[in-house]
Amino acid sequence: MSRRVGDGMVGAVGRSVGAAALTGVMALAGVAGAGAQATPVGGIAATPASGECEAPEGTPDMAAMASPMASPAADEAAPAATPVGDEATIEAATAAAENLANCWNAGDLDAVLGLVTPNLLQTKFGVADAEEAAEVLGGMETLPAYAIIDTGDVQTYEDGRASLDFEYLLGEHQYTAARWYMVEANGRLLIDEEELLLPQPDVEASSVIGVAFADDESPVAYGQGADEETGGRAVPLLPAIILNADNSAGTERRFLSVVRVPEDEAGTPVTELPEGDFVAQISLAAGDQADVALVNLEPGEYAIGEPGGPSVPLTITEAEPEA
């Protein structure tokens, strides 16, 4: 029997920091389920992928997938890329990305876990293996939907991997430009790694806010513009707010979430990342920086921080009137 979102119990999972991070990140997803339609508040709208989920044959071998699959570029500089010209490879890479989005949005966990490698689970979600991911994701009521906005270049590498550049909306607010690396296994392309690229949403105006981890022990903090007393920051509403997250001083992977603070908790001091509506999530490798664009936002109180850890408040104010 295929496992689906909602089959498991989140409370039973607590074996690792990775599981706690994944639980904390994805538990915030209730407002943006697979059937949600993004509402443009400032200009970005996309329909979640709803095509057929082509699941791999058979149930994923969780024991086998518990051992990380070889990912040649995971621990070293990426090899030189070669642009792909043949349509068959382009179509295969595009279809692999679209199929994962379809299966994710359908809530078919076994299919999703059969379409990715353990390296992807570890680097994007911080879980050690597919069985652990299945337990955590199975306890979620719903997941933020993937809506693919555009697909771009396909490239191949000397290590045997291929990649696809594309833009997607995760939930209603996280506009992401990404490169998905893929490896071939049993005649199928599996998603092996996600590299975040600079997002460039098609909007009239945007602003940039930066947050950073000073070291492995420090919580996230704004790079500039923070209130001395609260550590928070207020910015006017624009069609897009680019969030630059910096872990360049760190030696460990860190996970960052953005949530909408419930109205009844707005204005109260925030220490730990509160439970709230999912806005965005970022996985930051040691020494890495990454950007996502926050779109379709509304004025209100938000928080940025690590799941289960400290956070900093972000206040989105009404848009400033044009001069």
Q: Are 130 and 21 in a shared domain? A: yes
Same domain, yes or no, for 192 and 299? no
Do 183 and 40 lie in one domain? The reply is yes
In this predicted structure, what is the pLDDT of residue 9? 33
User: Would 7 be classed as within a structural domain?
Assistant: no
pLDDT of residue 30: 38
Residue 279, classed as helix, strand or coil, is: strand
User: What's residue 143's pLDDT?
Assistant: 79
Answer with the one of 197, 225, 250 that is the final residue of a domain.
Answer: 197
Comparing 58 with 70, the larger pLDDT belongs to 58
pLDDT over threshold 60, residue 127 = yes
Domain identity same for 214 and 285? yes
Q: Looking at the structure, tell me whether residues 155 and 221 fall in a common domain.
A: no
Residue 240: which domain range? 206-317
28-40 pLDDT, tens per residue? 443 334 344 434 4
Residue 59 inside a domain? The answer is: yes
More confident residue, 265 or 229: 229
Percent of the chain with pLDDT over 90: 55
184 touches 167 (CB < 8 A): no
Rounded CA separation 158/138 (Å): 37
Same domain, 193 and 218: no
Number of domains in the chain: 2
- Calculate the average pLDDT of the chain: 81
CATH number, domain with residue 140: 3.10.450.50
Domain contains 322: no
Q: Which CATH number fits the domain that encloses residue 313?
A: 2.60.40.420
Of 163, 197, 231, which marks where a domain is finished? 197
- Both 213 and 187 in one domain: the answer is no
The burial class, CB within 10 Å (0-12 / 13-18 / 19+), for 320 is exposed
Which tokens is 147 given? 């809506």
75 in a domain, yes or no? yes
Q: Which two tokens stand for residue 21?
A: 């991070």
pLDDT tens column, 203-245: 999 999 999 999 999 999 999 999 988 899 999 999 999 999 9
CB-CB contact of 147 with 168 (8 Å) = yes
Same domain, 35 and 179: yes
Q: Is there a single domain that holds both residue 169 and residue 25? A: yes
Position 233 in a domain: yes
pLDDT in tens, 104-122: 999 888 899 999 999 998 8
